Structure 1
Amino acid sequence: MSIEIKMPALSPTMEEGTLAKWLVKEGDTVSSGDIMAEIETDKATMEFEAVDEGVIAKILVTEGSDNVKVGTVIAILAEEGEDPASVTSGGGAKADTPQPADPQFKGTPDATDPNAKGNEAQGGARTVEQAEDHGRPADAGTASPKPAAAAGGDRVKASPLARRIAASKGVELSGVSGSGPNGRIVKADVEGAKPGAGQSQATAAPTAEAAAPAAAPKPATVPDIPHEATKLSNMRKTIARRLTESKQTVPHIYLTVDVRLDALLKLRGELNHSLESRGVKLSVNDMLVKALAVSLIAVPKCNVMFTPDQLISFKRADISVAVSTPSGLITPIVKEADTKSLSVISTEVKDLAGRARDNKLKPEEFQGGTASISNMGMFGIKQFEAVINPPQGMILAIGAGEKRPYIVDGELGVATVMSATGSFDHRAIDGADGAELMKMFKELVERPLGMLA
């Protein structure tokens, strides 16, 4: 039996993508784990892996195709013993109805924003099966549910986890429609079922009115001036949409402190001298990432995420670091930055930033984070206000360090000073709590041994 290979949802916000490049051709044999294509999502360009074994019988969507809807059949795979020449598309190029994202994805930051949302999925159908069987939510945009069993009484197709959940809830699997590959019942299909229920858990088809697309905005009039038009990438579209949403829906409050850097710069020089033999060179930004992470743990009321009915408080500090790439800004994450050494943070930041510029990050490396940091000091920017990455609660904007008149030991002198501005979601974080975080950050930078204790 042939297998339909469908456009995967590689992030919970992805509704369509660009099939940038096919790495296989018709007639090629593929095995599970083989890279079949490169797909440009609303996040980045990512590799798409094969889940099943077989022969590529037909490629239905050519490389370079834009706006390929999630669930669209992009190729047909002939299984072992099946004649690829006999395989027909069967009209499979029509996009199935995407399923809604798992509620667990609510509030995951969008990492394509300069200041960023996500999912851990990397492969096509694997995003449903493997994620579900390892306790992670299935991806948004998977194909519409199919009957789990044939009318002839075939065995119900269901994952082991789905069977356990169904048994504990008293749900009859024979009456549940599966949204996994080939109609397999997965975790998401049985979680919402009521005991004794036999109805399909599939999402109801929208009415014609609800399904009607919103009217497209009127394009701007381009002045009669010599110019060059560049097509917007999926990442740039997402950045524009997410930043607009943030500024329109999140009440920002901005708090700025001036921070003396002399002690931190001195410690950095000493540490770099001792780390030279290990090939590690700390940047000021590496130390500021650590200071922000420790501050968030010390002031937990700022290490939060706002949802419509809950305030989520995080127990560790994962810092999203803004990195400029040719496609736009992306924020790879230094996880558990509050407990990692400066040398580890430095090594990770350099590795993540390099792979971000090469579009080689894995989804879990840039999706998530509890707060963000954006440093524009290297451009000579003295002070700026960054846009929050919903649903994160705050972002720290770092300006350039410069020599300024400063009160040193009670007397007017000259010191190296930078301005740091915290942008806080006022729905989740009160001004006094934000001020406490900024005060803690200032103290840690001015007395940097405190962040190492």
Structure 2
Amino acid sequence: MATPVTMPKLGLTMNTGVISRWNKKEGESVAKGEILMVVATDKLTFDVVSPEAGTLLRIVVPEGKDVPVGEVLAYLGQAGEAVSGVAAPEAAGTAPAAPTSVASAEKASSRSAALPAGLRATPLARKIAREEGIDLSAVAGSGPEGRIVRKDVEAFAASAPESRKIKTSPAAAKAAADLGVDVSSIAADGRVMKADVLKAASPASVKAAPKDVRLPLTPMRKVIAERMSLSKATIPSVAYDMDVDFTALAEFRAKVKAEGAKRGVKISYNHILMKICAAAVKDVPLANSSFDGDAIVLHGNVNIGLAVAVDGGLLVPNVKAVQEKSLLEVAEETERLVDQARSGKLALEDMQGGTFTITNLGMFGTKSFTPIVNPPEACILGVNTITEKPVAVDGAVVIRPMSVLSLVADHRILDGAEAARFLARVRELAENPWLLLL
């Protein structure tokens, strides 16, 4: 008896899923534990393995359809086994044969219409006739079976009255041939140019402009669009930019990076900034909170998400309880999440529970940008490129590595003074990283 394959529940909050890709086709054999399909949820994509060995008898749900958890997606069984009561899915993307045939016929017709029926001419004779604007039907052919050859066209051009001679540029001649325009009917001062031919051509004959391409939204892009729209529609956010001197932070990073390398861990500015933000939250707890209707929820843990660019979108896995972890632990956990995000192996738990987000576009050279708050969080910190700039220090102008930190905050939670105080504390810790030890 055929075994139904249903939409699995891949997380506590999952209600529906989309078949992103079938790895097997109907009639193909599949081993137990082999990847049968890829399912996309509102947050992630998952490889779903076959519950048993057998043959994929019938695919009930095609790729791209959103279905609830528990709905039958396909049937597995023995080769040749019938699946009763299930209609075969309509094949997607199958183009009718008739339009193709018509299009081919029209194309062939346009080629054959280059010369009147029964009229034959060599390619060189046609080229010269196009350039000279000569109607080949008026030329007598001297070649085999009356074929018009080069000397026939040249002789006709030499004997034709001046009114019959039309000088045409090669580009104009080609355009006239493609568009079916009679160059002898074009009134032009001197030589007929391509612009003259295009002007004389009927609008229907002119080649159509390149068509727009419609890209269907992937499940991930749909979620990004929904969440960003929700953020802009419901969160009255305000952006704050602040210059930060990275001199001390660069020195600090160089030292801890060397120590981390001994332990096989690469420590980046992102990891240090995560610890800095977690420490700054102690002074401004509202930066680590959420707006919940008639209350503001102050979160006990600082779960910091780091925006990761992946194919087709953006994922924001978060490191839990950053305030309790060492810098080394934060770096290890962050890099694990980044690797899993890019390889499509994140768990739903890694995407849930975030309370603060950092997004870094510095590697692209951005000097300032305004990130969008990730609901239901209160803040997001944008990190920009580090650039050497002249700055005044103790009355002298010196060159320092400077960057702009861009904070966007939910104004329902943080007033301007609170948001600025948080960002100022982040700057203080960045410019004096030893304060993290206190």
Judge same fold: TM > 0.5, yes or no. yes
Q: How far 1:43 sits from its partner (Å)?
A: 2.5
Taking structure 2 as the reference length, the TM-score comes to: 0.63
1:166-208 superposed Cα distances (whole Å, 9 cap, x missing partner): xxxxxxxxxxxxxxxxxxxxxxxxxxxxxxxxxxxxxxxxxxx
Relative to 1, partners in 2 of residues 1:353 and 1:28: Cα closer, same or farther, differing over 3 Å? closer
1:24-35 correspondence to structure 2 within 5 Å: 30=32
For residue 410 of structure 1, report the CA deviation from its aligned partner: 5.2
Amino acid at match of 2:320: K
- Give the TM-score normalised by the residue count of structure 1: 0.62
Deviates more, 1:419-428 or 1:372-381: 419-428
Instruction: Give the Å deviation of 1:7.
Output: 2.1
> Given the alignment of the two structures, is residue 317 of structure 1 paired with residue 302 of structure 2, yes or no?
yes
Residue type of the alignment partner of 1:75:
A
**Residues 311-369 of structure 1: CA distance to partner in whole angstroms, max 9, x if unpaired?**
22111111110111111111121222222222222222223222212222121122331
Partner in structure 2 of residue 47 of structure 1: 47
**CA spacing shift, 1:2–1:392, aligned 2, 3 Å:** farther
Amino acid at match of 1:422: L
Match of residue 377 from structure 2: 392
What are the equivalent positions in structure 2 for 1:324-403 lying under 5 Å apart? Answer: 324-403=309-388
Amino acid at match of 1:248: A
Aligned to 2:6: 6
Task: Name the structure, 1 or 2, with higher relative contact order (CA <8 Å, separation 6+).
Answer: 1
State the partner residue of 1:423.
408
Counterparts of 1:360 and 1:317 in 2: how far apart (Å)?
Answer: 23
Q: Aligned residue for 1:192?
A: none
Match of 2:64 in 1: 66
Deviation at 1:9, TM superposition (A): 5.3
> 2:21 matched to 1:20?
yes
| Structure 1: tracts of 5 or more residues without a match | 94-222
Shift of the 355–57 alpha-carbon distance from structure 1 to 2, 3 Å rule, reads closer
Instruction: Give the corresponding residue for 1:449.
Output: 434
Task: Give 4+ residue runs of structure 1 displaced > 6 Å after superposition.
Answer: 23-27, 52-57
Give the distance between the partners of 1:274 and 1:38, measured in 2 at CA.
40
Q: Closer, same or farther in 2 for the Cα pair 1:88/1:399, shift >3 Å? A: same
Q: Is the 8 A contact 2:257 2:268 kept in 1?
A: no
Cα distance between partner residues in 2 of 1:89 and 1:57: 16
Residues 31, 53 of structure 2: 8 Å contact kept: yes
| Partners of 1:225 and 1:267 in 2: CA distance | 54
Identity, % of aligned positions = 31
Shift of 1:374: 0.6
Equivalent residues, number: 317
**Alpha carbons of 1:56 and 1:363: their partners in 2 closer, same or farther (altered >3 Å)?**
farther
Whether 1:407 and 2:392 are equivalent positions in the alignment is yes
1: distance between equivalents of 2:302 and 2:409?
16
The aligned residue for residue 216 of structure 2 is: 231
Q: Deviations over 1:9-61 (max 9, x none)?
A: 54647644124124697876758xx75432123333212357x7797785443
Q: Is the 8 A contact 1:286 1:345 kept in 2?
A: yes
Shift in CA distance, 245/23, structure 1 to aligned 2, threshold 3 Å: same
Q: What is the distance in 1 between the residues matched to 2:259 and 2:282?
A: 28
- Post-superposition Cα deviations, 1:232-266, rounded to whole Å, max 9, x if no partner, equal 21111221222122111110011221111100100
Q: Which residue of 2 aligns with 1:306?
A: 291
Could you report, residue by residue, the CA deviation over 1:288-308 in whole angstroms, capped at 9, with x for unpaired residues? 122112222332121101122
**Once superposed, what is the RMSD of the aligned Cα atoms?**
3.3
- The 3 A distance-change label for structure 1 pair 234 and 35 is same
SS in 1 for 2:60: coil
Mark the CA change 1:405 to 1:315 in structure 2 (over 3 Å): closer, same or farther.
Answer: same
Moved more, 334-343 or 1-10: 1-10
Which is higher, the Rg of structure 1 or of structure 2? 2
Corresponding position of 2:243: 258
